[in-house]
Amino acid sequence: MARTLITVPRTAKRDEIIEIRALVQHSMETGYRRSSDGDLLPRDLIRRFTCRFVPRVAANSNAASTAGDLIFAATFHAAIAANPYLSFNLRATTSGTLVFSWEGDNGLAQTETVSLLIA
């Protein structure tokens, strides 16, 4: 499992625009490099990142809304640096859970959650 480092303020004021940072440990092997033995290193990339927001009320009400709203998504290619870093924003309106997902080659699929409290 890839190590991740997510930075989100613990609390925010209503309508405050917060900054979210997400760092994940991954080599982002391009498929163009060769090993010291001359073999081509197979491509191994994170392909997709999504960040969803699940409002606290919705999480308990019905299954359909637990997926939450997509607030940010990224499609990565080989030109994204190793240990991909992303920083983006969210207008905080209500307390809830941020769901971060990374998907990629060799079956990589990882999800992390962080809660956000509107003070």
Does 1 contact other proteins by CB under 8 A? no
| Structure token digits, residue 97 | 């859970």
CA distance 32 to 36: 13
β-pair type (109-118, 11-12): parallel
Minimum CB distance to other proteins smaller for 63 or for 81: 81
Which listed range, 23-31, 54-62, 94-102, 103-111, lies at the site for other proteins (CB under 8 A)? 23-31
Q: Are strands 4-7 and 85-91 parallel, antiparallel or unpaired?
A: unpaired
Binding of residue 11 to other proteins (CB under 8 A) = no
- Choose, by CB under 8 A, the member of 13, 21, 113, 117 that binds other proteins: 21
- Bridge partners of residue 19, in order along the sequence: 89
Give me the residues that bind other proteins (CB under 8 A), please: 3-5, 7, 17, 21, 23-25, 27-28, 30, 32, 36, 53, 69-91
